[in-house]
Structure 1
């Protein structure tokens, strides 16, 4: 994956991004009063190779002027019908409100659909109000079955 949105480069994660991606995610979680959990909910960021690359998922970073300012990812999951879960959609606060999140979600959906998946699941926390608004306005339906301790909401969308 390599595409642009305005002055932002969206590209595949590389091992050199490990620390920067983790810092972005940790910073955004902290902003919302949530905790970075490298041994639990965020272990996939510490080991992108195992959690995404070897199972047919993708992890993208968003760069602005050479600096990682956001992340987004998905991987196949067992629940649902031929399903994936979108994970780690985070943007630093100064880069929100420009349509980038909506563009990222559309790019993820298009990529996922082109790969033949039929359902997308997303888990999130109520504190992430902007994310919830984005998901709901993009056709994601609330459902049940949260699996991540830090999250209290789960959504699904049929493709």
Structure 2
């Protein structure tokens, strides 16, 4: 295989990489697009309403937090982050995991989740918490496959419309 054939082949494979400030607008657009597709509107308290949505790179700068994006064919098509859960020093939250239709069904959600969980372990967290909604059927199935179990809501995440809380003990 020639170098240009390898480059062409790699161009089409989705890659997971750390979020940079240059990605802020693109990942915010992905979150807005996917939220709209599922009817998750800002007025109901979903993640799309977060004031920091357009500047996520500033939110995930601490050593115990990280956000990754998935780039596919030169575009940001998804992402997810890990950040401390306020008031629970040993628990982190899996946050803002969204994927455009272009990369759904390719195993990227599972791969990104595994990377986030590994980061949580390395950062010393004892559990990973998340909040979601029943509309996100595919996400719920993934979380259950990964070993997350339903639990009581923890902390004040600001996502009042997310009726489902789940936790994974590491």
Give the TM-score category using the shorter length: 0.7 to 0.9
1: CA distance between counterparts of 2:82 and 2:49?
14
TM-score w.r.t. structure 2 length? 0.82
Whether 1:131 and 2:142 are equivalent positions in the alignment is: no
How far residue 97 of structure 1 moved from its aligned partner, in angstroms, is: 1.0
Please provide the CA RMSD for this pair. 2.3
Name the CA shift for 1:8/1:74 in 2 (closer, same or farther; >3 Å).
Answer: same
Q: How many residues align?
A: 155
2: CA distance between counterparts of 1:112 and 1:33?
30
Q: Which protein is bigger by CA-based radius of gyration?
A: 2
Name the CA shift for 1:8/1:49 in 2 (closer, same or farther; >3 Å).
Answer: closer
Are the counterparts in 2 of residues 81 and 119 from structure 1 also a CA contact under 8 Å? no
How far residue 94 of structure 1 moved from its aligned partner, in angstroms, is: 2.5
Q: Find the counterpart in structure 1 of residue 6 from structure 2.
A: none
Whether 1:112 and 2:120 are equivalent positions in the alignment is: yes
The residue correspondences of 1:8-47 to structure 2 (distance < 5 A) are 8-36=14-42, 41-47=49-55
* Structure 1 unaligned blocks of 5 or more: none
TM-score w.r.t. structure 1 length? 0.87
* Structure 2 unaligned blocks of 5 or more: 1-9
Q: Find the counterpart in structure 1 of residue 60 from structure 2.
A: 52
Higher relative contact order (CA 8 A, sep 6+): 2
Name the CA shift for 1:46/1:107 in 2 (closer, same or farther; >3 Å).
Answer: same
